Structure 1
Amino acid sequence: MKLSISVALTSAVAVLAAPAPMPTPPGIPTASSARTQLAGLTVAVAGSGTGYSRDLFPTWDAISGNCNAREFVLKRDGQNVVVNNACESQSGTWISPYDNASFTTASSLDIDHMVPLKNAWISGASSWTTAQREALANDVSRPQLWAVSASANRSKGDRSPDQWKPPLTSFYCTYAKSWIDVKSFYQLTITSAEKTALSSMLDTC
């Protein structure tokens, strides 16, 4: 009986001590599927960025009830998130997957576009309609929107994987699979350097 109680207590402590799970937006492919998608992407020189404006990618559409895309992602990616009637996060715990930083205040997080909007612009979105760009900017059906630390998001900026990688190397695999999936779905191009970096990141899976 004493042994059973000891084991039970040890298990309970282990559960309590376990780190919060990393957020997992929908649609992340397997490594194998990502490699197939990567092989199917068109390699091309990136556009100049001329004419780009974030305003051309309307953000934070209503997603569910009173929740816009930002609040939807904060609620989805956090633990024990409490929201008010306007769907604004009042409390909760968030783990930034890019750098493993932990937060208890939603305002400390940014919502990152996995494929940055300017990168999308220079890889094909410059020829899209506003509605198509809006769909990319608010896509919660694929791994495009992530709640991350403001510092990681701003360090990344508009850079592609050959120019910036998450500080947390254990996230390379998920990062590459997510980036590839978004580019594949929206039929965006990649540069040769970008393809090499993504392939190398998939080797960590």
Structure 2
Amino acid sequence: MLKKSLMFIFAMILFLVGYQFDVPTASAFPPGTPSKSAAQSQLDTLTVIPEDSMSGYSREKFPHWDYKGNGCDTRQLVLQRDADYYSGDCPVTSGKWYSYYDGVTVYDPSDLDIDHVVPLAEAWRSGANDWSTQKREYFANDLNGPQLIAVTYSTNRSKGDQDPSTWQPPRYSSHCGYAKWWINTKYSWDLSLQSSEKSALQSMLNTCHY
């Protein structure tokens, strides 16, 4: 009886640990993911003001998928970085990816979009409308921070240009990472928040364990 009880307890511990630390199988995350405490500090310092309008916006004002050499552009480098494994150089022709937003495993790169964690239109409404085209290009191709990630095209397109007050990843256990990435990107690029966005980010950040 004692042995069975111990085995049951051990199984429950494994289940709870797996739930609490649910992580994707992908070999790489966007770089620069802050800790919970660092993300909280960044969130607390961000400017909270009403969003600007979409007047004058177009995606062409954020040149993206820059050529990076050796036949690769930004999209191809993210596909390589986020894959468990892949075939083909540039373009990547197949592989295995874990879509963090919805927990779907993907083998065909055509089923993936490269999501701008902070959408280009959202950046425009949050201060990028005053940037130079060159700065907007750097933002749209940022491989140094957690601004780009490969996810299923269905989740990326359901998100559109919404902020966390109106759209959050369908997979609940991804809310922590998503909030950290969003906060860090806005902090790193000195972009503002609106009040409802900050409240949603705080709720998502509260789901983090570390």
* Greater Cα shift, 175-184 or 59-68: 59-68
Match in the other structure for 1:61: 66
Which of the residues 167, 177, 180 maps onto 1:177? 180
Deviations 1:5-30 (A, max 9, x none): xxxxxxxxxxxxxx733641100100
Q: Is the 8 A contact 1:60 1:69 kept in 2?
A: yes
Deviations 1:32-74 (A, max 9, x none): 0000000110001001111100000000012353221000000
* 1-structure distance, mates of 2:158, 2:80: 24
Task: Give the C-alpha shift of residue 102 in structure 1.
Answer: 1.2
Which of the residues 110, 113, 130 maps onto 1:127? 130
Which of the residues 146, 152, 165 maps onto 2:149? 146
Map of 1:90-109 to 2, 5 A cutoff? 90-109=93-112
Which of the residues 165, 181, 189 maps onto 2:192? 189
Deviations 1:56-95 (A, max 9, x none): 00000123532210000001101111124xx111121011
* 2-structure distance, mates of 1:157, 1:96: 16
Gap regions ≥5 residues in structure 1:
1-18
Aligned length: 185
Q: Is the 8 A contact 1:173 1:201 kept in 2?
A: yes
RMSD across aligned positions (CA): 1.1
Match in the other structure for 2:78: 73
Task: Give the C-alpha shift of residue 172 in structure 1.
Answer: 0.5
Q: What SS does structure 2 have at the residue aligned with 1:55?
A: helix
Deviations 1:82-111 (A, max 9, x none): 124xx1111210111000111111011001
Gap regions ≥5 residues in structure 2:
1-23
- Structure 1 stretches of 4+ moved >3 Å: none
Match in the other structure for 1:164: 167
Q: Is the 8 A contact 1:114 1:143 kept in 2?
A: yes
Q: Is the 8 A contact 2:127 2:191 kept in 1?
A: yes
Q: Is the 8 A contact 1:64 1:72 kept in 2?
A: no
TM value normalised by structure 1: 0.88
Q: Is the 8 A contact 1:23 1:97 kept in 2?
A: no
Q: What SS does structure 2 have at the residue aligned with 1:80?
A: strand
TM value normalised by structure 2: 0.86
Deviations 1:133-166 (A, max 9, x none): 0000000100001100010000000000011000
